């Protein structure tokens, strides 16, 4: 899961909570990768 904000913030905390729930539901690990900067553009580019 790519998060376009730096670690330690509210969005990062919410993403990690969702990742934990997805891991439990799917049975496969979900990793949160923070890609801050550019108002989210860097994260979007990484996914694209």
Q: What secondary structure does DSSP assign to 1-48, as a single string? A: -EESS-TTSHHHHHHHHHHHHHHHHHSS----EE---GGGHHHHHHH-
Q: Provide the whole-model pTM.
A: 0.82
Give the pLDDT confidence of 2-46 residue by residue, as tens digits.
999 999 999 999 999 999 999 999 999 999 999 999 988 999 999
């Amino acid at each position: 899961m790519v998060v376009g904000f730096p670690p330690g913030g509210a969005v990062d905390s919410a993403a990690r909570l969702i990742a934990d729930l997805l891991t439990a539901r799917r049975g496969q690990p979900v990793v949160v990768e923070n890609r801050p900067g550019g108002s989210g553009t860097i994260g979007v580019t990484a996914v694209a």
